[in-house]
Chains A and B, each alone.
Chain A
Amino acid sequence: MTLSFKSLLLCSALVLAGTQAFAAGTLNRGNTGDPESLDPHKTSTVQEANILRDLFEGLVAHDANANIMPGAAESWTVSEDGKVYTFKLRADGKWSDGTPVTADDFVFSLRRVVSPETAAEYAYMLAPIVNAEAITAGEKKPEELGVKAIDATTLEVTLNAVTPYFLEMLTHQATYAVSKANVEKFGADFTKPGNLVSNGAFTLTSFVPNDKIVLTKNPLFHDAANVSLDAINYIPTEDRSAAIKRFEAGELDMNDDFPTEQLTDMKAKFGDQVKIGPYLGTYYYVFKTDKAPWDNVELRNAVSMAIDRDYLAEEVWQNTMLPGYSFVPPGIDGFTAQAPEWAALPQIDREDKAAEVLAKLGYGPDNPLKMEIRFNTSENHNNTAVAIQEQLKPLGIEVSLLNTDASTHYAYLEQHGDMDMARAGWIADYKDPENFLALCKTGAGNNYAVYSNAEYDALLAEAAGTADQAARFRLLEQAEAIGVARDQCVVPLMFYSFHSIVSDKVKGWEPNVMDIHPTRFMSKD
């Protein structure tokens, strides 16, 4: 009896020791939601990107600071005219089933992304490649895509035009390769645990919807020697307050988000484990610029300058947003965002100026300017709109508010329904000003303002054909000065910031404007 009791104790001690040793190598990473899919070609959200970045490796990858580094391709060359990219794949690149990662896998995958049958949401990430758009539209066959395998480890990609941000686009998960043999073997079920074969630092072990996704270190990854964690538990944390409590209890090592209204308390409690910094995204409003009175540039500017962005960022968003006057947020090296001249004035002078313009245009107590602001339901969006309503009231502008759920809101904007002003937001897909400025291009699907200016379009087109980065940025700056700073094709209000909470035990988490944090560079004490 004594013996068995002792051995029982010993056993449990061993088990306990075992779990603890294992737990040290396991990162419990809170993710703001479950992925819609683990098929890289069918995903679009940030929470999916986090997981897929760990499972797969594209031609190029992001380092811990979100700078480009070689991925599945160890090197690449670009032709003189800037249109042909030749990627040299790693000789030791392997899928997690041991088969080599070949140029054929990439050809298969890139064709798969643009095929209409795949219906990939991010097919446009490959739009610069020859014939990509025609294939997605069903006008050409996938085989006509401008990619070919020269040999097993050499991939050639031909572009329509010089695309300086092409390598940045290749960091997006929609451009990752999937194993051709694996997809052909399992069909739509290839992403299931047990079936999924990947080439990243981790492999998929299990996936229970709304519970957790377990990834395990991939011993066949080319840089496996430098991957410190044994496993990652991706835990969906839709309830941000609960996520913070789970962090406090040690159940989570990090989370991508926190309730911003608790910022002060959290800073007191967690110190510099609370991470806040600029993030490449803009929170903005749009006027419907093709309709009176909003077709008047002067009026758009007057309303825009009367909005106190400092108040919005500091009071409404508790400093988790930064006041913004340009569409392109800070953080893109070499690009100077263009703000309107009035942005330099103190708020009180702006209000006087706005009042002058309104009076000149014939608005006043007898003829008040009326407008409706549409936004998608959310407490913070609501507070923002209410604050703006109050800020515009002294100028005699009568603002009414209309909120609808996100799906209704964006469907309405996309159909260019009748409206005065509406909220929108844009987070960069890749680190380039073009990704923002394209939203004001004539006819762009997400040009909610229905803004159209030939000069602006011409500058963007010229920039698209310019290989020299500095010269291209000057053209884009000119475009922003006209479309945004002068014409207010969008009314920028604030720049997003990332807000994460990361335990002191986690090393290798680096703040960056893309808020991209590959787990392969992290370790846990």
Chain B
Amino acid sequence: MLRFVLKRFLTAIPTLFLIVTISFFLMRIAPGGPFAQEKPLNPVVKANLERLYQLDLPLWQQYLNYLKGLLRLDFGPSFTRPEFTVAELFSTGLPISIQLGATALALALVVGSALGVLAALRQNKPADYAVITLATAGSTIPNFVVAPVFQLVFALSLKWFPVGGWGDGAWVNKVGPILVLTLPQLAIVARLMRGSMIEAMRSHHIRTARAMGLSDWSIVVRHAMRGALMPILSYAGPAAAALLTGSIIVETVFGIPGIGRYFVDAALARDYTIVMGTVIVVAIFTILFNLIVDVLYAVVDPRVRYD
């Protein structure tokens, strides 16, 4: 197992390198630049700015400089926020996005799985229909609808929570964003769990376990759920990478200072270094969580062996 993990870490390096290279050049193909804007700059000033950020160098040289910087863990300065380095922006924003995303993920996995199991065990009964309805609603209503509705109902009418803002991390400010992030994930987890649980309950080993007179509880938790968790795990890997790196909609609507908004804002502003930073962060999270999921497969399913 250890060898497997090590091997995966080593193959991650060329993968990351490829991602960085492709993104670097793709982004430069897009017309415009960080200094093209509604009020155009005086050409002399623009040339000065480009010199300052070394955008006047040939592209291959900029690429080499960027790679050299990466080796020193230097992601460069942000073009649109010159007072902050990309590392500084991410070190304040990423923990916030991770905090919200991880809570949402945990809630979605725990509650979603529980609801899924419940629905499977009560198949075609009211509880099942309730879960299916919730799951359908949760996964089809987009969060740019759910978030403002949450603000209208729970903040403006009921006044239980603030409409927005981070409030220096006060828990009341986190409830809305976390719930809005959780809902669609919870819906998907519940649906997946319901499906795989129904299938598991019909399998031969469960029938055998029943024949052997095991208790219902033991059958569900120790035998059926274990197998039924596999699709959830496959789903949780990429979902974790997406959730922990923030959501532009949730963060913009609730005024949360995470990194989600950089995905779109930086790309539109051609803030090259921030775009590269987000690409690298997402790539690392994706690689890492895929690896974790692969390891967990072996833990959950004894048939999976990596050695």
* A123:B42 contact, CB within 8 angstroms: yes
Q: CA A172 – CA B12 in complex, angstroms?
A: 50
* B40:A407 contact, CB within 8 angstroms: no
When distances are taken between beta carbons in the complex, the residues of chain B under 8 Å from A117 are: 48, 52
Which residue of chain B has the shortest Cβ distance to A248 in the bound complex? Answer: B156
Those of A243-259 within 8 Å (CB) of chain B: 245-246, 248-249, 251
* B252:A245 contact, CB within 8 angstroms: no
Which residue of chain B has the shortest Cβ distance to A207 in the bound complex? Answer: B83
With A406-B37, A407-B37 given, is the CB distance from A236 to B42 under 8 Å? no
Q: Is A192 part of the binding interface, using a Cβ–Cβ cutoff of 8 Å?
A: yes
Task: Out of B80, B254, B255, name the residue touching A235 (CB < 8 Å).
Answer: B255
When distances are taken between beta carbons in the complex, the residues of chain B under 8 Å from A411 are: 31-33, 36
* A241:B148 contact, CB within 8 angstroms: yes
Q: CA A249 – CA B155 in complex, angstroms?
A: 8
Interface size on B, residues (CB 8 A): 50
Q: CA A404 – CA B36 in complex, angstroms?
A: 13
Secondary structure type dominating chain B contacts: loop
Q: Is B166 part of the binding interface, using a Cβ–Cβ cutoff of 8 Å?
A: yes
* A410:B37 contact, CB within 8 angstroms: yes
- What is the CB-to-nearest-CB distance from A416 to chain B, in angstroms, rounded to a whole number? 11
**Which stretch in A36-44, A66-74, A79-87, A300-308 binds the other chain?**
A36-44
Q: CA A212 – CA B80 in complex, angstroms?
A: 17
- What is the CB-to-nearest-CB distance from A94 to chain B, in angstroms, rounded to a whole number? 25
Those of A360-411 within 8 Å (CB) of chain B: 376, 404-411
* A412:B31 contact, CB within 8 angstroms: yes
* A410:B81 contact, CB within 8 angstroms: no
Which residue of chain B has the shortest Cβ distance to A236 in the bound complex? Answer: B255
Q: CA A133 – CA B268 in complex, angstroms?
A: 31
With A405-B268, A414-B40 given, is the CB distance from A209 to B163 under 8 Å? no
Those of B283-302 within 8 Å (CB) of chain A: none
When distances are taken between beta carbons in the complex, the residues of chain A under 8 Å from B152 are: 245
Those of A178-202 within 8 Å (CB) of chain B: 188, 191-192
When distances are taken between beta carbons in the complex, the residues of chain A under 8 Å from B22 are: none
When distances are taken between beta carbons in the complex, the residues of chain B under 8 Å from A446 are: 39-40
* B48:A407 contact, CB within 8 angstroms: no
When distances are taken between beta carbons in the complex, the residues of chain B under 8 Å from A192 are: 83
When distances are taken between beta carbons in the complex, the residues of chain A under 8 Å from B256 are: 210
* B162:A251 contact, CB within 8 angstroms: yes
When distances are taken between beta carbons in the complex, the residues of chain A under 8 Å from B89 are: 209
When distances are taken between beta carbons in the complex, the residues of chain A under 8 Å from B82 are: 36-37, 39, 42
With A38-B83, A119-B45 given, is the CB distance from A242 to B40 under 8 Å? no
When distances are taken between beta carbons in the complex, the residues of chain A under 8 Å from B155 are: 245, 249
- What is the CB-to-nearest-CB distance from B229 to chain A, in angstroms, rounded to a whole number? 37
Interface centre among A39, A44, A121, A133 (most CB of B within 10 A): A121
Which residue of chain A has the shortest Cβ distance to B45 in the bound complex? Answer: A123
When distances are taken between beta carbons in the complex, the residues of chain A under 8 Å from B93 are: 209-210
Those of B23-44 within 8 Å (CB) of chain A: 30-33, 35-44
Task: Out of A38, A235, A414, name the residue touching B36 (CB < 8 Å).
Answer: A414
- What is the CB-to-nearest-CB distance from A51 to chain B, in angstroms, rounded to a whole number? 13
* B270:A407 contact, CB within 8 angstroms: yes
Q: CA A301 – CA B251 in complex, angstroms?
A: 47
Interface centre among A138, A188, A239, A376 (most CB of B within 10 A): A239
Q: Is A292 part of the binding interface, using a Cβ–Cβ cutoff of 8 Å?
A: no
- What is the CB-to-nearest-CB distance from B124 to chain A, in angstroms, rounded to a whole number? 41
Those of A204-237 within 8 Å (CB) of chain B: 208-212, 235-237
With A120-B45, A412-B31 given, is the CB distance from A242 to B164 under 8 Å? yes
Q: Is B134 part of the binding interface, using a Cβ–Cβ cutoff of 8 Å?
A: no
11 more A-B contacts (CB under 8 A) besides A209-B93, A210-B255, A251-B165?
A124-B45, A133-B44, A138-B48, A209-B92, A248-B163, A249-B162, A407-B32, A409-B32, A411-B31, A411-B33, A446-B39
Q: Which residues of A are in contact with B by a Cβ distance under 8 Å?
A: 34, 36-39, 42, 44, 116-121, 123-124, 133, 136-138, 188, 191-192, 208-212, 235-239, 241-242, 245-246, 248-249, 251, 376, 404-414, 424-427, 445-446
Q: Which residues of B are in contact with A by a Cβ distance under 8 Å?
A: 30-33, 35-45, 48-49, 51-52, 80-84, 89, 92-93, 148, 151-152, 155-156, 159, 162-166, 251-258, 261, 268-270
Please give me the 3 A-B residue pairs with the lowest Cβ-Cβ distance, nearest first: A407-B32, A411-B32, A211-B257
